[in-house]
């Protein structure tokens, strides 16, 4: 059981850190981006994945503060990579509902980007469809403000939510991240994957397939015109210093 007090202490004592999962251009095989994934080195419980503390952070509201730290650290790390000549890289950060609705997300993003000294265009926020339904007009206004700042906006786990496809075109998005269930089913159920890729392109969005676990999926995705991919087969989430080595290796 993870307690709120523990999480507060963790934030104070720098016990959270970020892993980065590479995102690949499926044509060239190059890494162009990274998704930041938070972890917690708990003093007694050991290394905790987000599934063990994000829900509680969300319930208690601490996710707003944690989310601020994640944004700051992801931007700082991105700046480090740029300074080492390993960029420019697009770093994606997951945004929770509470962080979007109860915090000052625009202010958080502006502060993180400015403190790190990077341009907003190198930060991507991943939001889910379910987060948006609470108040679509207000959500669009917030997203537009973020876009004005140059920040990129992706729909995470795309295809699993409830928003209508027609409503998508009114959102100021830059990318769709296709949920890994569709990647997993690609050999048997390729029509949904093809439809999403086509839709994304029609809307002028980048499209990335998540959860690539086999080479055959890469081939199918290329055939369907999907240009970007992420998944265990291509690269697992890893520490920043290991990611640095991958970037240096492809230079
Ligand atoms: O790494 P893992 O598979 O355990 O991640 C599980 C979930 O945790 C994913 O849905 C992911 O989006 C979420 N997650 C990872 N890092 C963060 C973060 O920094 N903030 C939020 N809100 N969610 C995150
Ligand atoms: O919900 P979100 O897309 O943010 O979830 C990201 C999580 O998905 C990460 O925690 C990451 O560990 C996990 N993940 C990334 N690639 C794969 C994959 O190829 N297969 C599976 N099962 N999970 C993956
Ligand atoms: Mn994600
Ligand atoms: Na996802």
| pLDDT tens profile 185-233 | 998 888 989 999 999 999 999 999 999 999 999 999 999 999 999 999 9
pLDDT of residue 97: 97
Atom number, ligand 1, closest to the C-alpha of residue 156:
12
Residue 44 token pair? 């007694």
Q: Which helix (H) or strand (E) holds 83?
A: helix 63-83
54 CB under 6 A from ligand 1? yes
- Domain range for 101 is 4-249
ipTM surpasses 0.90: yes
Predicted TM-score (pTM) of this structure: 0.97
What is the CB neighbour count within 10 angstroms for residue 51? 7
Cα–Cα distance measured from residue 166 to residue 77, given in angstroms and rounded to the nearest whole number: 37
Considering only CA atoms, which residue is closest to atom 22 of ligand 1? 96
Provide φ and ψ at 153, rounded to 5°: -130, 125
- Predicted confidence (pLDDT) per residue in 42-68, tens digit: 999 999 999 999 999 999 999 999 999
CA dihedral for 196, 202, 208, 214, sign (positive or negative): positive
Considering only CA atoms, which residue is closest to atom 13 of ligand 1? 50
Cα–Cα distance measured from residue 111 to residue 97, given in angstroms and rounded to the nearest whole number: 20
Which residues lie with the beta carbon below 6 Å from any ligand 2 atom?
A: 21, 37, 94, 156-157, 180, 210-213, 231-232, 237
User: Mean of the pLDDT values across residues 3-8?
Assistant: 92
How many domains, in total, are found in the chain?
1
What is the CB neighbour count within 10 angstroms for residue 166? 7
The residue whose two tokens read 């991919």 is: 229
What is the CB neighbour count within 10 angstroms for residue 8? 14
Distance of CA 177 from the midpoint of ligand 4 (Å): 6
User: Mean of the pLDDT values across residues 8-37?
Assistant: 98
CATH of the domain at 192: 3.20.20.450
Nearest to 210 by CA among 188, 185, 189, 187: 185
């Amino acid at each position: 059981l993870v307690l709120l007090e523990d999480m507060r202490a963790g934030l104070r004592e720098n016990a959270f850190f970020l892993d980065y999962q590479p995102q690949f251009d499926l044509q060239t095989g190059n890494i162009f981006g990274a998704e930041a994934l938070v972890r917690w080195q708990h003093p007694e419980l050991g290394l905790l994945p987000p599934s063990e503390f994000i829900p509680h952070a969300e319930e208690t509201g601490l996710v707003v503060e944690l989310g601020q730290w994640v944004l700051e650290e992801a931007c700082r790390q991105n700046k480090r990579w740029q300074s080492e000549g390993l960029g420019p890289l697009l770093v994606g950060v997951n945004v929770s509902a509470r962080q979007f609705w109860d915090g000052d997300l625009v202010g958080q993003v502006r502060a993180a980007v400015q403190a790190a000294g990077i341009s907003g265009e190198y930060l991507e926020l991943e939001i889910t469809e379910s987060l948006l339904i609470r108040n679509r007009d207000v959500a669009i206004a917030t997203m537009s403000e973020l876009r004005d700042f140059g920040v990129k906006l992706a729909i995470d786990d795309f295809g699993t939510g409830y928003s209508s496809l027609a409503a998508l075109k009114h959102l100021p998005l830059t990318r769709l991240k296709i949920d890994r269930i569709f990647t997993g089913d690609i050999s048997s159920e390729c029509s949904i994957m093809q439809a999403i890729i086509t839709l994304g392109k029609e809307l002028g969005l980048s499209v990335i397939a998540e959860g690539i676990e086999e080479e055959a999926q890469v081939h199918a995705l290329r055939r369907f015109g999907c240009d970007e991919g992420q998944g265990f087969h291509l690269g697992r989430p890893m520490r920043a210093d290991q990611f640095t080595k991958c970037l240096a290796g492809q230079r």
